Amino acid sequence: MKYEIANQPFTVLTLYMEAGESIKCQSGAMAWMTPGIIMETKTGGLGGMFKKMIVGESLALNHYTAERAGELTLAKHSPGDILAFNISETPIIAQKTAFLASTENVNMDIYIQHKAGVGFFGGEGFLMQKYSGSGFAWLEIDGAVQERVLEPGERLIVDSGFVAAMEASCTMEIQTIKGAANIFLGGEGLFNTVVTGPGKVWLQTMPINALAMNLYAYMPHPSN
């Protein structure tokens, strides 16, 4: 299946589908399409609904199948980028809100960090998602993206929420920021996330939760 990613930072993904090809995507992702592409909403059964509820996804996914060759365009939900991953080459671990679409043979499972502290303090979330199987997955990235390649044992210290995705060969843990002044006056919180190679890491420049908090400071608030 051919695809094109364009119009950053208000990014769209256009899929050029041949007859018989199909994809699954998040509810509400479709922006426009040509005639001859049919949509069917599926829940994936109770087990699938439970997984989606835990990671905060839509309880149902929309499946689009091309009865004849055509185009399907999906839009990102917030300013940022869309990355394409060939899951056939290597499984990917991503933040739980990243999924936009995938081909049908890509499996999405809950990925639990080995150390619970990563979830409660590290910012990337105790529950992430693992993509495996065969085919492509297209994931949403907040802001711009930078790719880093870590050698075996090489470590990268990242502020909370800036890890968008990593190859499954990488590991993640937390590191406590030392010093009371650094904690209370440094503006970086209590913990950093440490990613250890080998593998690729994709970093996002504007985590949506940080953007929301910054915008909140400028919003009018009702007086007490």
Q: What is the mean pLDDT of residues 46-69?
A: 71
The confidence band for 187, taking pLDDT boundaries of 50, 70 and 90, is very low
pTM of the model: 0.81
- By the 8 A CB rule, do 127 and 110 touch? yes
The confidence band for 48, taking pLDDT boundaries of 50, 70 and 90, is low
The confidence band for 60, taking pLDDT boundaries of 50, 70 and 90, is confident
The confidence band for 46, taking pLDDT boundaries of 50, 70 and 90, is very low
Write phi, then psi, for 146 (nearest 5 degrees). -125, 135
Q: Where are the domains of the chain?
A: 2-216
Distance CA 166, CA 54 (A): 21
Distance CA 76, CA 160 (A): 22
CATH class of 2-216: alpha beta
Cross-strand bridge partners of residue 32 = 73
Q: Report strand pairing: 92-94 vs 163-167.
A: antiparallel
Among 52-66, 113-127, 134-148, which stretch is predicted with the lowest mean pLDDT? 113-127
Name the percent of the chain in helix, strand, coil, to the closest 5: 15, 50, 40
Per-residue pLDDT at 62: 95
Helices and strands in the chain: count of H runs, count of E runs: 4, 19
Cβ-count burial 213-223 (b if 16+ within 10 Å, e if not)? eeeeeeeeeee
